[in-house]
Amino acid sequence: QVQLAESGGGLVQAGGSLRLSCAASGRTFNRYTMGWFRHAPGKEREFVAAISQSGGSTDYIDFVKGRFTISRDNRKNTVWLQMNSLKPEDTAVYYCAASPGAIFQSDRWYHDWGQGTQVIVSS
């Protein structure tokens, strides 16, 4: 398993940008596919983005394509989510999570989760 800690959330106006960070502990970070999920009040937790172990493959939910970018640096045990052109609909608690296998959008494949970081986008 791996321990994860998100940071970088905050309050931003619509059209603005935020960069979320997820710091991982352990020596085997490069063995995990890393994903970002979000959970808004009254809504179900949903997949946002994921990146493969080496960083060679990425996947995004359609609503964030062209606006969000996921990246990782295995030497630093860190994954980022760069969020541009933010919309009020992006308001949620954002979680990073680790999966031992390939990229999947279902949260059932992700076994380790961070505590979450709040993102609020005002109109």
The string of pLDDT tens digits covering residues 24-60 is: 998 899 999 999 999 999 999 999 999 999 999 999 9
The string of pLDDT tens digits covering residues 99-110 is: 998 999 999 999
Sequence-distant (≥ 6) Cβ neighbours of residue 44 within 8 angstroms: none
Residue 45 has what pLDDT?
97
Residue 1 has what pLDDT?
80
